[in-house]
């Protein structure tokens, strides 16, 4: 007696299921990480404020800033600049320059700045000044004696800025 044809089909289907078809797994493609600009996450006092001395506490004018960057591994380059823009020869000053290393977090540790007549060589002769924080995710363009740009970055790089006004009479 012959076995029904459907038994042969089930047997063959079982073999195919056991042996299976080998389908090669293709490479896994991931999009390259986008480059995002750094941001000023928070500032005390807020960006655009007028810095004032607390006469009771005799504290200097101080700015606290938390910077963020979605590209956590990017170092952030900072410049604190006095009386700029516009650039005025003998008045505009690069007060401080810092680099914050990249890490695992978007938010970086707080940075502080307190304008000081002597340390920052703030120009005398007037009392109203501007404080500019320039932040880039790549190194700033090198400064040279003929440069009138204290916050230039090479083309294609991100630059974020925040500014405050302050009153300080420097001798």
**Contact 96/116 with Cβ under 8 angstroms?**
no
Q: Kindly report the CA angle at 160 between 154 and 162, in degrees rounded to 5?
A: 135
Q: Which CATH number do you get for residue 162? A: 2.60.40
Residue 16 falls inside a structural domain? no
CA-to-CA separations, 133 to 34, 79, 139, in angstroms, rounded:
24, 6, 15
Residue 33 falls inside a structural domain? no
Question: What is the percent of the chain where pLDDT is above 90?
Answer: 64
Q: How many CB atoms lie within 10 A of CB 32?
A: 5
Nearest 10 degrees: Cα torsion 9, 11, 14, 18:
-130
Q: What is the pTM of this model?
A: 0.78
Taking the C-alpha atoms of residue 53 and residue 168, their distance in angstroms, rounded to an integer, is: 9
Q: Which of 82, 99, 69, 60 is nearest to 133 (CA)?
A: 82
Q: How many domains does the chain have?
A: 1
Structural domain of 103: 39-141+156-167
Q: How many CA atoms lie within 13 A of 116 on its CB side?
A: 9
Residue 22 falls inside a structural domain? no
pLDDT in tens, 126-160: 899 999 999 999 999 998 888 899 999 999 899 99
Residue 83 falls inside a structural domain? yes
């Amino acid at each position: 007696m012959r076995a029904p044809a459907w038994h042969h089909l089930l047997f063959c289907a079982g073999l195919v299921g056991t042996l299976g078809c080998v389908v090669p797994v293709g490479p896994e493609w991931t999009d390259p990480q986008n480059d995002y600009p750094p941001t000023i996450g928070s500032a005390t006092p807020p960006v655009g404020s007028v810095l004032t001395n607390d006469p009771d506490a005799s504290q200097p004018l101080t700015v606290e800033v938390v910077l963020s960057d979605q590209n956590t591994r990017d170092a952030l380059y900072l410049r604190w600049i006095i009386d700029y823009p516009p650039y005025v020869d003998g008045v505009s000053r690069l007060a401080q320059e810092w680099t914050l290393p990249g890490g695992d977090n978007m938010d970086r540790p707080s940075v502080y700045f307190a304008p000081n007549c002597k340390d920052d060589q703030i120009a005398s002769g007037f009392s109203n000044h501007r404080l500019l924080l320039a932040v880039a995710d790549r190194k700033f363009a090198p400064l040279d004696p003929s440069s009138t740009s204290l916050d230039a970055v090479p083309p294609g790089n991100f630059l974020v800025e925040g500014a405050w006004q302050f009153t300080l009479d420097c001798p």
